[in-house]
Structure formats: C-alpha cells, structure tokens
C-alpha cells in the first residue's frame, strides 16, 4: 500500500482537505454533509480552542478572542493577538491545518503525516516558507507546496492529456486571482498571474447590504449600522440573497424583527432583481476583466491563444461573471468541477502522484447539452419570436435548477406558450424542440406581467420545466423524461445534418446570433408565418369585444379565413393574413 499524503487547500476564508483513495479523489467531510472548514480560529469562554464554524460564530461575539483571514499575514514577522496571547501567523495557520489533519485521520482511520499544501501563485518565498512551517507545527511534513491555479488545472485536466493554455479565474470570498497556465502532459506551468487581494464575493454582499441600509433609512428612519447584531443578521441575509440570485431572477432580503424603533418591531422585506444586482456588482466584474488582460499580456498572449477558461472560487457561480468571460473570450468557461473544492482536489491529485498512486480523472455528472426556451427579442432591428434563451448550459453539474424572468408582450395577454429546446443556436428554431406547453389564465394586466420559468434537471436526466406568474403564483409545468439521452446518436446527427443543409452557402455575419436570426430558412419562414397568423387572430379576437356589429362580422370572417388556410399553402395563408391585417389597421386607426 502506498503512503498516505493528503492535499490541503489552505484558503483565506475557507479550507478543505482531500485524498485519493482507490484512484478516486475524495474531499473529506469536516462535518456530516459539509466539506468546507471556515479558516477561523477562536478561544471559547472555557479556554477551548475552536476551529471552523464554531470559531466563526464566536468571531461575531468576541472578535478579540478570534482570528480570521490569517493567510493575508503569512510571511510577516508579526504577532497576532488572540485572547490576550501573541501568536505567529504560522501558529494560527497550524491550528487550521491541525484540525484538517485530525479530520482526515478520523475519516481514514490511519495516521496522516504528510501533505501537499496549495498557495497563491503570487506568494513569495517567505510566504511559502511560512506555510511549510505551519505544516510542520501541525505535525505534517509538507512534501510539496503547489500553486493554486496549478492545483485547479490538475483537477480539471488530470487524465485528459493534450497540450493547451488555460486561464484560471479564481474569485473567492475575499480575493481574486487570475493565472495563465500551460498544460503539457500532466505538467502545469504558471506563465503569469495577477489579482487583487481585496476583491471577492464579500464585496458583492456589501453592495446588497448598502442597498438594505439605504432602504431601512428611507422607509423606517433607522440607521442599522448602529446595531451590531442586526448588522450580522443582515450580512447573512445578504449572502443568502446573493446565492439565490445566481440561480433565480429575483431574491428577497427578508428578516423578521430585525430592529426595534420606539418599541415597535421593524421587519425587512426587500426584493431585488438579478438585473439590479448585476448593475451593482458590474464595476467589480469589470475590474477582474482588466486583471485578466494584465495577466494575458504578462504571459505574452492574447485572448485568442487561450484554449480553456477554468473557474475556481465560490463567487464564480455568479452568472454575470460567467457571461462577461464568455463574451470576452467567445467560449463558455468550464465550471463543472465544484469551484469551492477544485483546488483541494488538485492538491490531492498531486499528493497521489507524489505517493505513486494511480489517480483517475475527476468525475462529475454534467449535462452534455444546453436546454433553454425562446422569447421575443429585437434581432437586427426586427422583433423575432424565437430568440433562444439558454437556462441550463452544457457541462453544468447535475442536479441543477435555474430560473429566468420573462414578461408578457401585450396588454391583457392571458396566455403564454413555453417552448423547450435542446441546443446551442441563438435561433431557437435551429435547436431541437423537446417539449412545449401553455400557461393560461394569467391575470388581467398591462404588457410586462412577469413570469418566471424554471428548468430543473436531475441525475436521471428528467427535465422539469415550470412557468409561474410572479404576482399570483399561477403555475404550469411539464416533465420531459430522458432529456439527456433522448437526442443522442443518430437523431442528433440527423438534425445537425438537416440544419447544416439549410445553412450551407449562406453567409455568416460577424456575430453568429444575428446571422442566424436574420438568415431564416424557407422552413422557418413558413413556421414564422404561422406564428404571425396566430398573433393576428389573437389581436382580432381581442378587438371583437369592443367592435360594432358590422366590424365584428368582418373580423370573424377574417379570422375564419386565416384558420381555413392555416394548414394550406403559404401563399393562400398570406392573402388571408393581409386581408385581416388591413382590417385591423383600419379598426385601430
């Protein structure tokens, strides 16, 4: 049996420990169902040393007895005070490492004496040396110190082979690092690195907190900043809302009995849309992109040289981050390895390699296809009803659930058709329709009535699509069994072939989206014509209620004529449509 070497991600906010067993990478739980240990230490009332969650809770009440973010101090010759005693940064880090070591030993049932520990690529020799010493204090021989982007690349690429250049974009709670790495036959070389030691998901939380502070001030005339406990609750609520906004179009910052004023309770209930939230955090995301370019030029490369983008750090789950990177690089960033655990996994892979163990690639269940719906959008200055809106992107780990917000397009619209597609093309009609349903009985409202569409895909490949009217909760859904395997193989190849045929010889514009939208195939024309015909009928039916007897008769005849030709030749349908359109124009005027 080969020796045991654990891999440790010793992070600023959180730390993890992982191991390779029977060829597989395993992140060791620090508590039932939890694999992340907050990098916080604290001394309890009775003098007991607390590490992790318990220490983080203590921090709120007794900051003088607690230490967090010690990683920022590593390599400094300084004393850190905790409960009236002085410690070196190495000693504080050693407390975290010691706890991880104990957890690993209890899990494996054997002593653990060796570790691979990760550090940021920019760490100096002194900082690396301090990390090594922390390991030794914790009773661990540090067999390797490896760079975090190297570990991340190993987690993604180990066992996949092939030479390539990757951009590792790591946005955690309090730090941002970006590195350009070169991967060649299992060897990872960091070509350039850049970042900001004080930028991360915590700043996103702060934006939501500021928003709530302003709201409470305006609505209730209170300054919550004067109330430490209420602020701590707000902090947690803000982070929870932020996490919700990664998957849903709206989140509510809600805390009952948050404060009291003149003996009366103040409840917080503040809805935030993803769009508004994205406006708040946009400057931070822009800053990370600037750093991306600095690191690219540091490596003497351009956007076009990058083969892959690998996402690391919990805050990379933010859709705006992924969208911006996708737009900048013209490729979907890879996010299939859990961004919180991927550095620890890479450390464990490296540990396995040092120990001479066989290590297989990290396996995750992902969806091989993109699933989405269609919506009305302006494409090349024209309204197009089949603009594709992907909800679950290819290579997303499953199970997954994602929601998007949509609006009705005309006043009094009582129904909306929801089409479900599998594919990547910006023109939904070029994707494969795998289901459709209608939500009916929407409340009487002007255009802009909000609907929330949710796609949930489980491990068995069952896709559930739900549409909900936001104001009333009215709900309609369908379940598509076997969504993942349904269009594999022949059927998919056949569909591709058919679509390739339609697009052959057509010029592609600079941006594929508008080209696909504008260059409609004959088949699509016919289909689109029928959509327009249905819209005309709907409009005519609405006018019926208010039309005079004679006009109503003309309208009914017009509607009938279109219905008669719906399944007939395009030209006949067009004639009937023109007639009704003329009538509607006249009646509207």
Q: Which CB, 243 or 445, lies closer to ligand AMP?
A: 243
Q: By C-beta, is 275 or 482 nearer to ligand AMP?
A: 275
Exactly one of 16, 170, 177, 338 is catalytic; which is it?
170
For the CB of residue 140, give the shortest distance to ligand AMP in the complex, in Å: 22
- Nearest approach, Cβ of residue 227 and ligand AMP (Å): 23
Q: How far is the CB of 13 from ligand AMP (least distance, A)?
A: 4
Measured from the CB atom, the residue of 314 and 333 that comes closer to ligand AMP is: 314
Q: How far is the CB of 175 from ligand AMP (least distance, A)?
A: 7
Q: Any residues with CB less than 8 A from the CB of 232 and at least 6 apart, and which?
A: 60
Q: How far apart are the first and last CA of the chain?
A: 86
SS (H, E, C) 431-484: CEEEEEEEEECCCCCCCCCEEEEEEEECCCCCEEEEEEECCCCCEEEEEECCCC
Residue with Cβ nearer ligand AMP (200 or 517): 200
Give the integer Cα–Cα distance in Å for 162 and 224. Answer: 55
Active site residue 490: no
List, edge to edge, every strand of the sheet that includes 49-51.
49-51, 40-43, 66-68
CB of 273 to ligand AMP, least distance (A): 16
Contact 71, 50 (CB under 8 A): no
Task: Note if the bond before 286 is cis, omega within 30 degrees.
Answer: no
CB of 211 or CB of 384, closer to ligand AMP:
211
Instruction: Identify the H or E element spanning 205.
Output: helix 201-220
CB of residue 316 vs ligand AMP: minimum separation in angstroms?
A: 8
Enumerate residues 6+ apart whose C-beta is below 8 A from 482.
461, 462
Cβ–Cβ under 8 Å, residues 180 and 150: no
Residues near ligand AMP, by CB under 6 A: 11, 13-14, 172-173, 200-202, 239, 242-243, 246, 313-315, 317-318, 340
For CA atoms 546, 549, 554, 559, give the dihedral sign: positive
Pick between residue 13 and residue 456 the one whose CB is nearest to ligand AMP: 13
Distance CA 180, CA 569 (A): 58
| Min separation Cβ 137 and ligand AMP, Å | 24
Smallest gap from residue 473 Cβ to ligand AMP (A): 25
Nearest to 341 by CA among 202, 158, 155: 155
What is the Cα–Cα distance from 102 to 283, expressed in whole angstroms?
A: 42
| DSSP notation for 134-150 | HHHHTT-EEEEEEEHHH
- Residue placing its CB nearer to ligand AMP in the complex, 65 or 317: 317
CB of 11 to ligand AMP, least distance (A): 6
| Min CB(59)–ligand AMP separation in Å | 16
Active-site residue identified among 16, 71, 202, 308: 71
- Which of 127/246 has CB closer to ligand AMP? 246
Active site annotation includes 148:
yes
Q: Which is nearer to ligand AMP, 11 or 558 (CB)?
A: 11
Q: Token digits for 476?
A: 């309609």
Q: Nearer Cβ to ligand AMP, position 11 or 426? A: 11
Q: Which of 194, 229, 226, 199 shows the shortest CA–CA distance to 213?
A: 226
Instruction: Fill in the DSSP letter of residue 79.
Output: -
State which residue, 239 or 417, has the beta carbon closest to ligand AMP.
239
Maximal C-alpha separation, the chain: 94
Q: Which of 16, 91, 133, 148 is catalytic?
A: 148
Q: Which residue is nearest to ligand AMP (CB)?
A: 201
In the numeric block, which tokens belong to residue 400?
A: 């997954």
Least spacing, CB of residue 246 vs ligand AMP, in Å: 3
- For 400-442, list the strands marked E by DSSP: 400-407, 415-422, 432-440
CB neighbours (10 Å) of residue 275? 11
Q: Output the six-digit token pair for 46.
A: 């009775």
Phi, psi of 34 (to 5 degrees): -125, 130
Tokens standing for 386? 């089949």
Residue from 33, 31, 50 nearest 42 by CA: 50
Please give the full DSSP string across 323-348, using - where no structure is assigned: HHHHHHHTSPPB--S-TTTHHHHHHH
Beta strands in 49-163 (DSSP E): 49-51, 66-68, 80-82, 85-87, 114-119, 141-147
- Give the residue numbers annotated as catalytic, written as ranges: 9, 71, 148, 170
């Amino acid at each position: 049996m080969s020796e045991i070497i654990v891999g440790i991600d010793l992070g600023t906010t959180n730390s993890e420990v992982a191991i390779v067993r029977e060829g597989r990478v395993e992140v060791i739980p620090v508590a039932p169902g939890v694999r992340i240990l907050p990098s916080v230490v604290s001394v309890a009332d009775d003098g007991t040393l607390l590490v992790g969650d318990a220490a983080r809770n203590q921090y709120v009440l007794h900051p003088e007895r607690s230490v967090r973010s010690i990683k920022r101090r590593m390599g400094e010759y300084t004393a850190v005070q905790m409960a009236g005693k002085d410690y070196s940064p190495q000693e504080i880090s050693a407390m975290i490492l010691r706890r991880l070591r104990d957890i690993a030993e209890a899990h494996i049932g054997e002593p653990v004496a060796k570790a691979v520990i990760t550090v940021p690529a920019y760490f100096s020799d002194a900082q690396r040396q301090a990390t090594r010493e922390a390991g030794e204090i914790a009773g661990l021989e540090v067999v390797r110190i490896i760079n975090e982007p190297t570990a991340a690349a190993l987690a993604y690429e180990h066992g996949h082979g092939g030479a390539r250049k990757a951009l590792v974009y790591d946005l955690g709670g309090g730090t941002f690092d970006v590195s350009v790495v070169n991967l060649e036959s299992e060897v990872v070389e960091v070509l350039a690195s850049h970042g900001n030691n004080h930028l991360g998901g915590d700043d996103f939380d702060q934006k939501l907190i500021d928003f709530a502070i302003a709201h409470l001030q305006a609505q209730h005339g209170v300054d919550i900043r004067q109330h430490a406990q209420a602020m701590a609750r707000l902090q947690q609520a803000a982070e929870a809302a932020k996490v919700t906004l990664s998957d849903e179009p709206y989140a509510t910052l809600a805390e009952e009995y948050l404060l009291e004023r003149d003996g009366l309770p103040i409840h917080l209930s503040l809805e935030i849309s993803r769009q508004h939230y994205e406006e708040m955090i946009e400057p931070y995301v822009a800053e990370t992109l600037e750093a991306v370019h600095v690191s690219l030029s540091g490596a003497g490369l351009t956007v076009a040289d990058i083969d892959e983008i690998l996402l690391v750090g919990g805050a990379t789950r933010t859709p705006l981050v992924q969208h911006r990177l996708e737009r900048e690089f013209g490729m979907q960033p890879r996010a299939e390895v859990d961004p919180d655990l991927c550095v620890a996994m890479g450390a464990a892979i490296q540990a396995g390699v040092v120990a001479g163990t066989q290590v297989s690639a990290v396996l995750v269940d992902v969806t091989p296809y993109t699933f989405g719906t269609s919506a009305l959008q302006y494409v090349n200055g024209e309204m197009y009803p089949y603009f594709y809106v992907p909800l679950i992107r290819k290579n997303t780990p499953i199970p997954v659930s994602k929601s998007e917000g949509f609006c009705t397009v005309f006043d009094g619209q009582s129904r909306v058709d929801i089409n479900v597609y599998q594919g990547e093309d910006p023109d939904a009609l070029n994707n494969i329709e795998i289901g459709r349903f209608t939500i009916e009985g929407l409340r009487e409202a002007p255009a802009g009535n909000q609907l929330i569409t949710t796609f949930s895909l489980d491990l068995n490949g069952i896709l559930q699509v739900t549409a909900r009217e936001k104001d009333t909760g009215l709900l309609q859904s369908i379940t598509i069994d076997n969504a993942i395997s349904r269009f594999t193989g022949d059927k998919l190849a056949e569909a591709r072939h058919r679509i390739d045929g339609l697009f052959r010889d057509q010029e592609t514009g600079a941006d594929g989206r508008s080209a696909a939208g504008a260059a409609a195939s004959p088949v699509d024309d016919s289909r689109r014509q029928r959509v327009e015909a249905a819209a005309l009928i709907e409009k005519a039916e609405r006018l019926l209620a208010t039309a005079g007897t004679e006009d109503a008769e003309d309208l009914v005849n017009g509607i009938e004529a279109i219905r008669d030709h719906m399944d007939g030749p395009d030209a006949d349908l067009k004639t009937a449509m023109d007639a009704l359109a003329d009538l509607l124009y006249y009646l509207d005027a």
